[in-house]
Amino acid sequence: MSTLEFDHVTVRYGASTVLDEVSLIVPDGEIVGLVGESGSGKSTLAKAAVGLAPVHGGQILLDGEPIRLRGRHRPVQMVFQDPFSSLDPRMTIGESIAEALYRPESGRLSRAGRRVEIARLLELVHLDAGRAGHRPGELSGGQRQRVALARALAGRPRLVIADEITSALDVSVQGAVLNLVREMQRELGLSMLFISHNLAVVRYVASQVAVLEGGRIVEHGPTAEVLGRPQHDYTRQLLAAIPGGHDTLTKETNA
């Protein structure tokens, strides 16, 4: 696994600046949480790292090298929010994973080798290897999200980006996916950029937290510090807004 560095990254869509000189480091083997509200630019940052958003300024580095966004082997993989649209309904989950499998420069994987690798990946995310022949329609949302994670790992990425991967799931399933994410980090030493609007979820999985507001990072540091002793007003606002939190429903601001 590797270190991902956003170095003064700026992204614009037309006249509007979505990311404004964002600098952020995801250290080797750590999970960095990125929180913010809709429109803050969190998803755009993820897209920029995998080449789905145009970068107008700054650079994105992986272990000090500009990140490779073309060609067959891509070092950064991503898991998406919606488990229902992130898998091709026509392909078996085995085929979906096979498509993303890492191929050694020397040549192609044998058919048997591919099958073994798919089975290994499915077991890694706690799915029965026999599921490889199933189509996404036969799986629940939580199971699909595990398949999406397996697919992301199939390309032997140096880093994985998780974009709101639990927000479309029911609460009873969300916990299982979060447990899996932590397990991956501990056992595989996975580096991850974990994007979520839910502070409690981020607190549970991430060792560092960055707070994004209006395309700028307003606060960044170890999770306990940022959430325990927030320095920026906006972070405090976010914390205060958590339902079931400490001093909710006392402040009066305009939407």
> Which residues bind to another protein, rule: CB under 8 A?
37-39, 50-52, 71-74, 76-78, 80-82, 85-91, 96, 99-100, 140, 148, 151-152, 154-155, 170-176, 178-179, 182, 197-201, 203-204, 227, 237-245, 248-249, 251-255
Comparison of 115 and 182: residue with beta carbon closer to another protein: 182
Least Å distance, CB 90 to another protein, is 5
We find the least distance from the C-beta atom of residue 202 to another protein, in angstroms, to be: 9
| 183 Rama class: left (phi>0) / alpha (psi -120 to 50) / beta | alpha
Which C-beta is closer to another protein: that of 119 or that of 180?
180
CA pair distance 159, 203, nearest whole angstrom: 20
Displacement of CA 78 from its chain's centroid (Å): 6
- Count other Cβ atoms within 10 Å, centred on residue 184: 19
8 Å CB contact between 169 and 141 = yes
CA angle 80, 99, 1 (to 5 degrees): 65
Looking at the Cβ atoms of 134 and 203, the one nearer to another protein is 203
Contact 32, 222 (CB under 8 A): no
In the complex, what is the shortest distance from the CB of residue 173 to another protein, in angstroms, rounded to a whole number? 8
Of 180 and 217, nearer to another protein (C-beta) is: 180
Minimal distance in Å, beta carbon 108 to another protein? Answer: 14
CB atoms closer than 10 angstroms to residue 253 = 7
In sign, the C-alpha dihedral spanning 166, 52, 126, 90 is positive
By beta-carbon proximity to another protein, the closer residue of 51 and 58 is: 51
SS3 168: coil
Distance, in Å, from the CA atom of 220 to the CA atom of 23, rounded to the nearest integer, reads: 10
CB of 5 to another protein, least distance (A): 19
| DSSP type of residue 164 | S
CB closer to another protein, 8 vs 242: 242
- Provide, rounded to whole angstroms, the least separation between the CB of residue 210 and another protein: 16
Q: How far is the CB of 190 from another protein (least distance, A)?
A: 16
| Helical segments of the chain, H only | 42-49, 93-100, 111-124, 141-154, 171-188, 199-205, 223-228, 233-241
Residue placing its CB nearer to another protein in the complex, 205 or 217: 205
CA distance 45 to 215: 9
